[in-house]
Amino acid sequence: MKTLISLLLLGILFSISPLNAQTENPSDSVMVLPEGCTVQSNLVYKTVGEWKGNLDLYLPADTSKPVPLVLLFHGGGWNHGKKEDVQKNALSFLKFGWAVANIEYRLLDVAAAPAALEDARCALLWLVDNSTKYKFDVNKIVTTGSSAGGHLALMTGLLPENNPFDKDCIKGKKYKIVAIINKYGVTDVTEYLSKTHWLDKIPNKIEIAKTLSPLSYLNSDIPPIITIHGDEDPTVPYTQAVRLHHSLDSLKVKNVIYTVRGGKHGKFEKDENKRFSELTKQFLIDIGLLKKK
């Protein structure tokens, strides 16, 4: 009897497919690039001590002329996550014929705030500096990310040139951020201090939090912004997206907010993600980045 039970248990263990376990983590699943597209992995855009800032660069099939560039930032509260978690988000942009840079940045275990933002900005400026080599159109740059990545996408796109966060970055070439795709990103870091340790060791952290908040950099000349946010998000309050939307409206900055009714912190239903993808495509058409087919 014991032998039979052991065999049954063994059979159950072997019947659990590793593939099923892997599909729960998108970073482990195989990413198939569109035909002709290529990727250059772990290009180093910055080095700080022993830490290397890596990015994966996805290039479209046709780079005979400069193409738009998307900067992609993973989420994780500035304390966890990796670029591989969001690599599949590059696919839709590759299908547009655009390039995508999927960017790693310093997390809290390596460095506290504002290191992640400094890295995001340095990645942008490194890419601009290498635009001729990789055939980027530096006047057509889009930033995107979710959660903490949404915050970095907003800040990278909103900060003016010659800001304090660029102090260790390559500078020189001009560029233009033409759109920001914000997925439930933090817009007011001062409201988020109780939920993060990112600024714990920093003196005057409330004042510093203001300088790290996208809401502090809004004006009539900033890029158009499209946002998705669940109205029952327990992590980043939905009110942060609403405040951003209302502020942009008052400044007459083109923007769209898509509210997921009953939505939590990401992990939306398939239909909601599809609808947001359609809205994003139309948004990019409306601002002249994409041609309507």
Give the integer Cα–Cα distance in Å for 24 and 27.
9
The predicted model gives 54-61 an average pLDDT of 98
pLDDT tens digits along 98-136:
999 999 999 999 999 999 999 999 999 999 999 999 999
Percent above pLDDT 70 for the chain? 90
Residue 20 has pLDDT above 60, yes or no: no
Question: How many H helices and E strands in the chain?
Answer: 9, 8
- pLDDT band of 201, cuts 50, 70, 90: confident
Global pTM value: 0.90
For the chain, the first-to-last Cα distance in angstroms comes to 67
Q: Is the pLDDT of residue 14 over 60?
A: no
What residue ranges define each of the domains in the chain, with the CATH number in brackets? 14-286 (3.40.50.1820)
pLDDT at 6 over 70: no
- Give the number of other CB atoms < 10 A from CB of residue 117: 22
- At residue 21, the pLDDT reads 26
Predicted local confidence at residue 29, as pLDDT: 56
Of all residues in the chain, what percent are helix, strand and coil, respectively (each to 5)?
Answer: 40, 20, 40
**32 pLDDT exceeds 80?**
yes
Torsion sign across C-alpha atoms 58, 132, 149, 158: negative
Q: Residue type for 65, please?
A: K
